[in-house]
């Protein structure tokens, strides 16, 4: 039976949801192993072993792996895949996208990026041209490296598995890079890629102050994550990690509320798989209305406070 | 320090891609092609580093058909000093491109290679990371800030939760994200000047790289279309309709 190694993404001792989607994709390919790399990650490894379907967890615990540096983590993943596995499956997050191609090159294989489905042991679908086309791709490499679009696969249950845990040693610091620091926004709100409801603001909000004055209370009322269009991020109304779109985050919540977003192709590419899309925009011809299930044309500065109040 | 900047010719970002009826791909006949937007940002960053005195020479590289020369001329018009065109009419996958770039980096010994984080045609987001692996160099991907400091470079990266900064010893790889800079437009005098800048013509064979694809695209289709829904006339109606979906009580 084939073995697929899932690169576990974790932060602050918790496994991220994108990992669970990757486990689901991996389980369609064979037996699922997991790689937990980091510093002081014993508890994360135990949690990974409990994910339904995971039969073995390889743990690389060393200061060198503490900040997900690709230069240090990729050789570990490559070594384990080389010896034990047929696939590497990584979430298509910024961490997965950073590490997986480095592993692929070390193994001399062509990665299949951002897969939407597993059609067979060597065949996958993936979006190209910002999701304007879906390609079916067949790999001829003996070992395969995949990144997985989280919204396209259900999350594997975090409980129910009883995998074994095995320490991996070797590797260490490649001496090429070091972690300097991070500015990670602390937020009480749900993370965009796993939020059930998302409220996103666009350039029509006009300023950072208005963005937060109008979008934040609505999001809080709905228990929603907050997103933004690229135009709003470029204009400085919202930080980069809010960006929903082809080059930002790909989301598919049950409810997506687009406020003052015109609906550029690159934004639609990031949210058009949402279950229900609501759009509020003063321009009735805005492209966002071509994908919205429920549209309301009008002045967002009046309508959004009213909506927040009445919900 | 020399900077190597690979650039790719792709469907212009303003053109809506059309899937061919026979399912073989996207129609590229008679449509506007341009430099991949992330690569423009890479060229701009290299020029800014040169203007700041951190770089001495910028070499643009493109792997692709004869017309990729136009893309290289654009890079030269923006401010690159010379160009290398690795000509092939075949589709070259990121792994093979990375192998060609490795051979060029071995010859040119740049201090930095700055690439776009992804090309907007195949959206692979692989070449920079693969090149870093093949060269065994550090990689600063999805960069929103690049600071060269002697024999190292600090790269601030756009990550899912915010921003992260890593320090890489040079030589190193940087891949660009959208907010690194705003690329300049080439001026007419510079476009004229670019015509006489050196452009070397090469082939993948010159670098001993086998470009046979590892992946086969068996079918390309349009994604399921989403159709427009209804428009409501008031906030009350909007709330009623949202409640019908059952997402909120």
pLDDT one-digit tens code per residue, A142-158: 999 999 999 899 999 99
**What pairs with residue A15 in β-bridges?**
A10
- The answer on pLDDT for A110 being more than 80 is yes
Measured N-to-C along each axis, helices B127-135 and B94-108 cross at an angle, to the nearest 10 degrees, of: 50
Q: Average pLDDT over chain A, rounded to whole?
A: 95
Domain count, chain B: 1
Q: What is the CA radius of gyration of chain B?
A: 21
Three-class SS of A97-151? HHHHHHHHHHHCCCCEEEECEEEECCEEEEEEHHHCEEEEEEECCCCEEEEECHH
- The answer on pLDDT for A187 being more than 80 is no
Quote the pLDDT of residue B76. 98
Quote the pLDDT of residue B224. 84
Query: In CATH terms, are A3-167 and A192-310 the same topology?
Result: yes
- The answer on pLDDT for A170 being more than 90 is no
Q: How far apart are alpha carbons B45 and B54 in whole angstroms?
A: 11
Mutate to test the interface with A, among B166, B221, B241 (most CBs of A within 10 A): B166
Is B104 a member of any domain? yes
Fold of the A3-167 domain: Rossmann fold (3.40.50)
- The answer on pLDDT for A185 being more than 80 is no
- Altogether, the residues listed in chain B come to a count of 249
Measuring CA to CA, how many Å separate B133 from each of A75, B101, B117, B153? 9, 12, 15, 18
Tens of pLDDT, residue by residue over A254-284, are 999 999 999 998 899 899 989 999 999 999 9
Q: How far apart are alpha carbons B151 and B63 in whole angstroms?
A: 29
Contacts with A113 from chain B: Cβ below 8 Å: 123-126
Pairs across A and B, CB distance < 8 A? 267
Considering only residues 29 to 88 of chain B, which have any Cβ-Cβ distance to chain A shorter than 8 Å?
none
Is B241 a member of any domain? no
As a whole number, mean pLDDT of residues A48-54 equals: 98
Tens of pLDDT, residue by residue over A217-241, are 999 999 999 999 999 999 999 998 8
**A94, A233, A290 ranked by CB distance to B160: nearest:** A94
Mutate to test the interface with B, among A79, A91, A108, A129 (most CBs of B within 10 A): A129
Quote the pLDDT of residue A80. 98
Please, which pLDDT band fits residue A194 given cuts at 50, 70 and 90? Answer: confident
As a whole number, mean pLDDT of residues A28-52 equals: 98
| Low-confidence spans in chain B with pLDDT less than 50 | none
Mutate to test the interface with B, among A247, A270, A304 (most CBs of B within 10 A): A247
Quote the pLDDT of residue A191. 84
Quote the pLDDT of residue A188. 81
Quote the pLDDT of residue B249. 80
CA nearest to B4, candidates B73, B70, B81, B69? B81
- The answer on pLDDT for A186 being more than 80 is no
- The answer on pLDDT for A1 being more than 90 is no
SS3 content of chain B, % helix, strand, coil (to 5): 30, 30, 40
Q: What are the φ and ψ backbone dihedral angles of B114, each rounded to 5 degrees?
A: -110, 120
Choose between A188 and A253: higher pLDDT: A253
- Asked if B36 contacts B117 with a C-beta cutoff of 8 angstroms, the reply is no
Is B134 a member of any domain? yes
CATH number of the CATH domain containing B82: 3.40.50.620
Is B135 a member of any domain? yes
SS3 assignment, position B220 = strand
What's the domain range around B175? 2-224
Measuring CA to CA, how many Å separate B85 from each of A270, B102, B240, B249? 34, 15, 60, 60
CA B115 to mean position of chain CA atoms:
6
User: Omega before B192 cis (within 30°)?
Assistant: no
Fold of the A192-310 domain: Rossmann fold (3.40.50)
> How is chain A split into domains, by residue range?
3-167, 192-310
Q: How far is B190 from chain A (nearest CA, A)?
A: 28
- Asked if A235 contacts A176 with a C-beta cutoff of 8 angstroms, the reply is no
- Asked if A15 contacts A158 with a C-beta cutoff of 8 angstroms, the reply is yes
ipTM reported for the complex, 2 dp? 0.95
């Amino acid at each position: 039976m084939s073995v697929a190694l899932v690169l576990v993404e974790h932060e602050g001792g918790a496994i991220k949801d994108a990992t669970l989607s990757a486990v689901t994709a991996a389980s369609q390919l064979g037996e699922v192993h997991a790689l937990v790399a980091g510093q002081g990650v014993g508890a994360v490894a135990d949690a990974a072993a409990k994910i339904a379907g995971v039969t073995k967890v390889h743990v690389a615990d060393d200061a060198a792996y503490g900040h997900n540096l690709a230069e240090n983590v990729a050789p570990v993943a490559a070594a384990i895949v080389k010896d034990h596995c047929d696939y590497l499956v990584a979430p298509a997050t910024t961490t997965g996208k950073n590490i997986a191609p480095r592993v692929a090159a070390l193994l001399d294989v062509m990665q299949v990026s951002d897969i939407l489905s597993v059609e067979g042991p060597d065949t996958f679908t993936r979006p190209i041209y910002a999701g304007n086309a879906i390609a079916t791709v067949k790999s001829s490499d003996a070992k395969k490296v995949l990144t997985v679009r989280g919204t396209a696969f259900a999350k594997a249950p975090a409980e129910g598995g009883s995998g074994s845990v095995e320490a991996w040693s070797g590797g260490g610091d490649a001496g090429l890079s070091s972690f300097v620091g991070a500015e990670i926004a602390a937020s009480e709100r749900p993370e965009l890629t796993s939020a059930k409801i998302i409220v996103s603001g666009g350039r029509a909000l006009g300023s950072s102050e208005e963005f937060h004055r109008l979008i934040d209370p609505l999001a809080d009322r709905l228990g929603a994550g907050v997103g933004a269009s690229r135009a709003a991020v470029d204009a400085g109304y919202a930080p980069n990690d809010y960006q929903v779109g082809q080059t930002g985050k790909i989301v598919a919540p049950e409810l997506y509320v687009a406020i003052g977003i015109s609906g550029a192709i690159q934004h639609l590419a990031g949210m058009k798989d949402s279950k229900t899309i609501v759009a509020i925009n003063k321009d009735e011809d805005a492209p966002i209305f071509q994908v919205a299930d429920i549209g309301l044309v009008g002045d967002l500065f009046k309508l959004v406070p009213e909506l927040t109040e009445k919900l | 320090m020399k900077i190597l900047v690979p650039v790719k010719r792709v469907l212009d970002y303003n053109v809506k891609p059309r899937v061919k009826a026979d399912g073989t791909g996207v129609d590229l006949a008679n449509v506007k092609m341009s430099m991949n937007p992330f690569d423009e940002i890479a060229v701009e960053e290299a020029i800014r580093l040169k203007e700041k005195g951190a770089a001495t020479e910028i070499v643009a590289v493109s792997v692709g058909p004869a017309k990729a020369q136009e893309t290289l001329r654009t890079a030269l018009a923006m401010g690159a000093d010379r160009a290398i065109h690795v000509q092939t009419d075949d589709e070259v996958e990121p792994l093979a491109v990375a192998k060609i770039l490795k051979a060029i980096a071995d010859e040119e010994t740049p201090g930095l290679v700055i690439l776009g984080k992804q090309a907007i045609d195949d959206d692979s987001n692989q070449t920079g990371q693969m090149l870093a692996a093949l060269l065994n160099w550090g990689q600063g991907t999805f960069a929103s800030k690049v600071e060269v400091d002697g024999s190292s470079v600090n790269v601030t990266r756009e990550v899912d939760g915010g921003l992260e900064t890593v320090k890489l010893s040079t030589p190193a790889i940087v891949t660009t994200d959208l907010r690194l800079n705003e690329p300049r437009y080439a001026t007419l005098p510079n476009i004229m000047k670019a015509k006489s800048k050196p452009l070397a013509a090469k082939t993948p064979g010159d670098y001993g790289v086998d470009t046979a694809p590892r992946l086969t695209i068996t079918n390309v289709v349009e994604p399921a279309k989403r159709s427009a829904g209804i428009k409501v006339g008031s906030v009350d109606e909007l709330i009623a309709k949202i409640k019908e979906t059952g997402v909120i009580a």
